[in-house]
Amino acid sequence: MFFKSLRTKIIFFTVAILILAIGLGTWIIVDLQIMELRKLTEDKLTILANTIERSLETAMLEGRSQDVQRIVEMVGTHNKIYAIRVLDADGFVLRSARESEIGMRANLDFSSMQIEDQSNIIIQDKNDRGDIILRNLRPILNRPECFRCHDANQRINGVLEVDVSLDEMERHVAKLKKTMVIWAASITVLLAFALSALLSRIVTTPIIDLTNTMSKAEEGLDVRAKVVSEDELGRLAHSFNSMIIKLNKTKRKVEKLHYEQMRRADRLATVGEMAAGIAHEIKNPLTGIAGVIQILGRDFPPEDSRHKIIKEVLEQIDRLDKAVKNLLSFARPPAPNLAELNINDLLEKIIAFLSPQFSKNRVRVRRELLPDIPDVSGDPELLQQVFLNIILNGVQAMPEGGEMLITTSVKPDSGAAAQKTALETGEDLREQDSETVSIAISDTGKGILPENMEKIFNPFFTTRQQGTGLGLSITQKIIEQHGGNITVDSTPGKGTVFTIYLPAAKDRMPETAA
- In this prediction, residue 53 has a pLDDT band, given cuts at 50, 70 and 90, of confident
Final residue in a domain of this structure, among 123, 147, 171: 171
pLDDT at 415: 43
Look up the CATH number of the domain holding residue 126.
3.30.450.20
pLDDT at 510: 44
Distances (CA, A) of 118 to 111, 343, 390: 12, 105, 107
pLDDT at 511: 42
In the chain, what percentage of residues exceed pLDDT 90?
A: 13
pTM: 0.41
Domain-located, residue 498: yes
- In this prediction, residue 267 has a pLDDT band, given cuts at 50, 70 and 90, of low
Domain-located, residue 440: yes
pLDDT at 374: 92
Domain-located, residue 418: yes
pLDDT for residue 489 is more than 60: yes
Could you report the per-residue pLDDT of 336-353, keeping only the tens digit for each?
788 899 999 999 999 998
For the chain, the average pLDDT equals 78
Instruction: Report the distance separating Cα 481 and Cα 292, nearest Å.
Output: 38
Distances (CA, A) of 351 to 26, 367, 445, 479, 484: 88, 10, 18, 20, 22
Final residue in a domain of this structure, among 126, 149, 171: 171
Domain-located, residue 234: no
What residue spans of 65-146 are helical by DSSP H?
66-76, 110-113
Look up the CATH number of the domain holding residue 354.
3.30.565.10
pLDDT at 333: 60
Mean pLDDT of 486-504: 91
pLDDT at 57: 76
Domain-located, residue 476: yes
Final residue in a domain of this structure, among 171, 205, 220: 171
Could you report the per-residue pLDDT of 405-463, keeping only the tens digit for each?
999 999 875 444 445 545 554 554 444 457 899 999 999 988 888 888 887 877 666 76
The amino acid occupying position 338 is L
pLDDT at 444: 92
Domain-located, residue 36: yes
Q: Which domain covers residue 371, as residue numbers?
A: 333-503
- CA 469-474-475 angle, to 5 degrees, is 110
- 510 vs 47, residue with greater confidence: 47
Domain-located, residue 236: no
Number of domains in the chain: 2
Instruction: Report the distance separating Cα 439 and Cα 33, nearest Å.
Output: 83
Domain-located, residue 157: yes
pLDDT at 180: 85
Instruction: Report the distance separating Cα 108 and Cα 131, nearest Å.
Output: 17
Could you report the per-residue pLDDT of 70-84, keeping only the tens digit for each?
888 787 777 678 888
- In DSSP notation, 30-41 reads HHHHHHHHHHHH
The 8-class DSSP code of residue 105 comes to: B
- CA 197-201-204 angle, to 5 degrees, is 100
Q: Please give the backbone phi and psi of residue 103, each rounded to the nearest 5 degrees, phi first.
A: 95, -15
- 492 vs 510, residue with greater confidence: 492
- 317 vs 421, residue with greater confidence: 317
